[in-house]
A and B are shown apart, each in its own frame.
Chain A
Amino acid sequence: MSVTAPSRAFSQAEQSLVDRAAAALMRSAAGNSERQNALSMLKQEGLPSRRTEAWHYTDLRNLLGRVGSAGTGAPAGDADILAPLLPNGHVVEIGAATDVNPLAGVTVQQVDKLPEWKTALNHLDREFDTIRLLSVAFGAKATKIDVAAGETPGGSIELRAEPSASGSHTYAICDVGDEAKAVFVERLSATSAGSLATSVADLKIGDGAEVLWIVDQEKGAGETHLSQFNVTLGKDAKLLLFVLNAGGGLVRSEVHAITEGEGAEIRIRGVNLLKEGQHVDVTTTLNHLVPNTTATETFRNVVTGGQGVFQGMIRVSQDAQKTDAKMACNSLLLSDDGGFSAKPELEIFADDVQCGHGATAGEIDADHLFYLMSRGIPERQARALLVRAFVDEVVEEIDDEPVVEALEARIDRWLEAHG
C-alpha cells in the first residue's frame, strides 16, 4: 500500500501517535512489510472516534490526547520483582528468548512473524481492527505457547510483558490441545505514566479442553492499555475468563469469543474498579456460530470516579439453534463524579434460542444499608461490606480456591485504598 495521506485532518493526539509509531519503526533494526502496511493504514485512517459504533463511548481520537503522549522516565520498577499471581505460577515473558524450562506439557517459543492478518471475525467487525493494527504498527513481540493434547500442566502460565517505559506491545498465541486443561494469567502491571501499551492474545481451545484465563490489569495512573483477547472454542470446549480492571488511565479490554464446536461453553466474569481520572472500557462480542452452545457473562463495576464503559454483544447466527446466552452488567455508582455507560446488545438470527441481557446502575441499596446499620455496624463499614459483597459474588463463581483468594486480595487492596 503506498497511499499514506491521511483521509482527514488528524487530531494532535492522533498525529503524535502516528509519529511515535513511525519513529519506532525507524529505530527497529529489521523492517518488515507487515509492520509497514499497518503503519500506512494507521497514517491513512487514524483512530476511531465516537462516530465509530464499536468505539462509541471511548473516543480514542480525543481521549488519547488527554491521557498523555510519549512516556519518559524509568519503569516503575516493581514490575520485574512481582511474584506470580497464583501459587505454582510460571512466568513467561512475551517476546523474550524461547523458554527452555517450561512447565511439563507446555512449549513456549518466540515467534518472529505475527499470525496472518485476518480482517476481523466477520465483515461487521472491521471496527474492532484498531487494537491489532496498533499492535502490529508498533512492532508487537510475539510468543507462541502450546499446551499438548490431554495435558494438565502443574501450574498456571503467567504472561507478562517486558517492562518498558514507553509501553510494551505483546502478542500471545496460545493453543490448548484437545482434552487439555490449562490456567493462564495475563499480568498487566504498572510501568510509567504516559506509556501506551497494547496486548493481543489469540487463544484456541481444542475439543473437550478447558481453560481458565485470568486478566489482572493494575496499570498505573495515566497509562494507556489497549488489549484484545480472541478465543475460539472447539467441540465441548470450556472457557472461564475472569477480567479484573483495577488500574490504568485509559483502558480498553476487548474480548471476542467464537464457538466453533457444538457443546462449547463460555463463562465470562469481570470486575471493574474505577476511580477519578480513569476511563475503562470493556467490550465483548460472543459469536455463536454452531448449535447447542452456552454463554454466561457477568460484569460488576464499582465507580468512585472516572468513566466506565461496558459494551457486550451476543450474536447468534442462523445455524446456531439452541443457543443459551445470558449477559449481565451491574454498576454501583458511589459518586456523582463518575459515570457508567452500558450497551448490552443482542443480535439474533436463529429462532430457537434463549438469549437475554440485563443491565443495572444505581447506588448502594438503602434497605441493605439500613439492615446492617440497624445491627450496629457503622455506615462506613456497612457500605464497604456491601461493596465487597457486590464484587465478591462474581469472583466466588470461580471454583478454585487459590484463584479466588488471589483475586479477592487484589480487590480488597483497591477497596481499602479507594472504596
Chain B
Amino acid sequence: MPAVQETIDQVRSIDVDQYKYGFETLIESDKAPKGLNEDIIALISQKKGEPQWMLDWRLEAFARWKTMEEPSWARLHYPEIDFQDVHYYSAPKSMSGPRSLDEVDPEILRTYEKLGIPLKEQEILAGVRKPEEPSRLDEEAGEDATPQRGRVAVDAVFDSVSVATTFKKELQKAGVIFMPISEAIREYPDLVRKYLGSVVPTTDNFYATLNSAVFTDGSFVYVPEGVRCPMELSTYFRINERNTGQFERTLIIADKGAYVSYLEGCTAPQRDENQLHAAVVELIAMDDAEIKYSTVQNWYPGDKDGKGGIYNFVTKRGDCRGARSKISWTQVETGSAITWKYPSCILRGDDSQGEFYSIAVSNGHQQIDSGTKMLHLGKNTTSRIISKGISAGKSNNTYRGQVMAQRRATNARNFTNCDSLLIGNECGAHTVPYIEARNSTARFEHEATTSKISEDQLFYCMQRGIPEEEAIALIVTGFVKDVIQQLPMEFAVEAQKLIGISLEGSVG
C-alpha cells in the first residue's frame, strides 16, 4: 500500500522530536559572558546583592571545584562538557523587581500561559482537572482534603531569577517563609547560613560543588514549629536563554512537627546545543516533621537523532535530622537527554522514615541513571523504594540505588522494588542496587524484575478497538500506578499525560 499523505502526516505527528513545549520566548536578557572564574562568581554575587559571607562561601566552593574530577561511574555516555563554554548568569532584562503580575513582561506571561503554568489559583484548578469531574478528585484526596485544597503557591524561576511569587501574604500569616533563595539570603541570612550546605556540603560532589559556586536562584522554604503549611508549594523551572546553565539551589526546612508538600515541575524550550543543569536541593526535617517533595521533569530530551537536549546533573538530599521525621521523594522523569539524579534520605533521627517513588521514562536517545540512597543511621528507621523504569526507542534506563544500615541502626527496615519495562529491542534497562547491612537486626528486602508488555494484555486492549499506541500508554499507566498515587493531585494528572506523550513514537 503506498503511503498516503494522511499516513505521512500521522507518522510525523507522533515523531519523538515533536516536543510540545519547544518554543522560545524572545525577550531581552541580561547575561554574564561565557566562562567561569572568580570574577563571574563575584558578578553573580553582586547581581544578587549578596553579603560578603555568601561570596566567600561561593569562592571556597569554586576553589574546591577546580581540584575535582567529573564523575564517570554512571552508565551515561556524552561528549565532554566544556564548563568554560557556558553562561553562568542570565536574567530577563525587563525584570527589575515586579510588584505585581501586571509588571511582569507580557512575553513571560504568555510563555507561562502556553505552558499552562497556574499563576493564579483559578487557572490552577482549570489546568488540572476537567470541569465535569471535580467532585471525584476531591473524594480521592481523602483525608488530606482541606478547605484550601487545590491551592498552589508558585515561585517561578524563569531562567535564573524568580519572576513572581504568589500567595506570599497568606503564607506569611501562617509563618511560612517561601521565597527565592536570593531574597532569603538578604532577608533571613541567619536561617540560610545555619542550614545551607548542611545536607549537601560544598565539597560533596563535582556538580554540587559547581552549583555551590555559581547557583543563581531557587526556592527557600521555612516552615516553623508545629505549622502545617496551608497549601502546596510549587516552583517551575524553565531554562530559556540559549547556552545558559541553570543552577538552582533549593533549601527546605521543616521545623519540629511541621509539614510541607513541595512540587517542582519543569519544561524547557527546544534547541540544539546541549544544556547543562546542575541543581542542588536540600531538605531538613526536624523532630516529627514531614516533607513531601514531588518532581515532574519533562525537559527537552533531544530530537529523534539524539541531538540536543538537557544534561541534568542533580544532587537532591533530605536529612531526617529529628526523631520521627519523614521525607518522601516522588519523581516523574520523562525529559532530559542525560539524567544523573539520586534523591536521597539520611535517616539520622530515631524512628525516621524515608520514601522514594520514581517513574523514569526514556525514549529516543535518552539516557537515565537515577535512583536513591537510603542511609539508615538512627534506630528503628524505615525506608521504602518503589522505582518503575520504562525504556523505549534507543534509550538506556538505569536504576542505581544504595540502602545502607550502620552498626547502630538497630531495627532498620527497607523494602525496595524496582521494575523495568522494555518497549522495543533497541533499548536497555539496567538495575544496580547496593545493599549494605552492618547491623544484624536490619531487615532489607530487595526485588527487581525486567519484562516486556505482555502480549495478552496488549491483545486484550487492541481487540477492543484501542489503537496499539494508546493501549501501550494504558498498560504503562497501570505499571506505574503505585507511584502516580503518591503524587499530589495537581501533578498526578499532568504526570499521566506526560508519560503518554513521552512514549509517543515508541511503537513499530
Contact = CB atoms under 8 A, between A and B. Distances in A.
A361 B422 contact: no
6 contacts: A333-B439, A339-B438, A344-B446, A349-B428, A359-B433, A362-B442
Interface string B428-457: 111111111111111111111111100000
Contacts of A356: 447-450
B446 A360 contact: yes
A344 B433 contact: yes
Contacts of B436: 339-342
Contacts of A345: 430-433
Contacts of A363: 440-441, 443
A360 B444 contact: yes
Contact of A334 (B424, B440, B446): B440
B422 A333 contact: no
Interface in A314-363: 318, 321, 331, 333-336, 338-363
Instruction: Report the contact-size class of chain A (Cβ under 8 Å from the partner).
Output: 35 or more
Nearest to A316: B450
Interface of B: 73, 407, 420, 422-452
Contacts of A362: 437, 442-444
Contacts of B441: 336, 363
A351 B431 contact: no
A370 B381 CA distance: 24
Contacts of B435: 341-344, 359, 361
A397 interface: no
A129 interface: no
A304 to B, nearest CB: 10
Contact of A361 (B430, B442, B448): B442
B444 A357 contact: no
Contacts of B432: 343, 345
A357 B426 contact: no
Contacts of B440: 333-336, 338, 363
A331 B425 contact: no
A352 B452 contact: yes
Contact of B450 (A318, A339, A353): A353
Nearest to A343: B434
Given A351-B427, A355-B449, A359-B446, 11 more contacts: A336-B440, A340-B436, A344-B433, A345-B431, A346-B429, A347-B428, A348-B450, A353-B451, A354-B451, A357-B431, A359-B444
Given A362-B443, A362-B444, A340 B437 contact: yes
B437 A348 contact: no
A331 B423 contact: no
8 shortest interchain CB distances as A-B pairs = A362-B443, A351-B422, A333-B440, A361-B437, A356-B449, A346-B431, A339-B438, A359-B446
Contacts of B420: 346, 348
A29 B436 CA distance: 47
Looking at B420, B428, B432, B437, the one whose CB has the most chain A CB atoms below 10 A away is: B437
B430 A355 contact: no
A53 interface: yes
A321 B422 CA distance: 12
B426 A358 contact: no
B427 A333 contact: no
Nearest to A333: B440
Contacts of A331: 437
A356 B423 CA distance: 17
Contact of B407 (A336, A341, A344, A350): A336
A52 B262 CA distance: 38
A124 to B, nearest CB: 10
A333 B438 CA distance: 9
Nearest to B455: A352
A345 B432 CA distance: 5
Nearest to A310: B435
A295 to B, nearest CB: 13
Contact of A357 (B73, B422, B423, B448): B448
Contacts of A355: 449-451
Given A349-B428, A354-B451, A363-B440, A343 B407 contact: no
A350 B430 CA distance: 11
A350 B448 contact: no
A331 B445 CA distance: 10
A332 B430 CA distance: 27
A37 to B, nearest CB: 27
B427 A339 contact: no
A128 to B, nearest CB: 16
B294 to A, nearest CB: 27
B449 to A, nearest CB: 4
A333 B430 contact: no
Nearest to B421: A351
Contacts of B73: 53
